[in-house]
Amino acid sequence: MSPGEQRRKHDNLPPDVKDYIDAAAEAGAEKAILKLYAEIGKAGVKKALLIVGAGVAALLSYLGISGHWPK
């Protein structure tokens, strides 16, 4: 069955059913986008913490090697 035939088949649905389907599809899409943004945010935070941690480790190593570490 082609997409055009499916669309014509669903054109016979009552308007309230079409509205319900549209609302459910929109809510699902919105939820998926929010999950995507959350995953992107988590990845960004992890990367930032990795960079900060590497910087702190480098600074501590430098201080230890150069003899500027407080005793």
Listed in sequence order, the residues at least 6 apart from 9 whose beta carbon sits closer than 8 Å to its beta carbon are: 1
Would residue 50 count as lying in a domain? Answer: yes
Give pLDDT tens digits for 49-66: 999 999 999 999 999 888
* Domain ranges, residue 40: 14-66
CB 57 within 8 A of CB 50: no
According to the model, what pLDDT value does residue 68 have? Answer: 81
Would residue 41 count as lying in a domain? Answer: yes
Would residue 45 count as lying in a domain? Answer: yes
Would residue 8 count as lying in a domain? Answer: no
According to the model, what pLDDT value does residue 15 have? Answer: 82
Task: Check residue 11 and report its DSSP letter.
Answer: T
Measured in residues, the chain has a length of 71
d(CA 39, CA 33): 10
d(CA 30, CA 33): 5
Give pLDDT tens digits for 4-40: 565 666 677 788 888 898 899 999 999 999 999 999 9
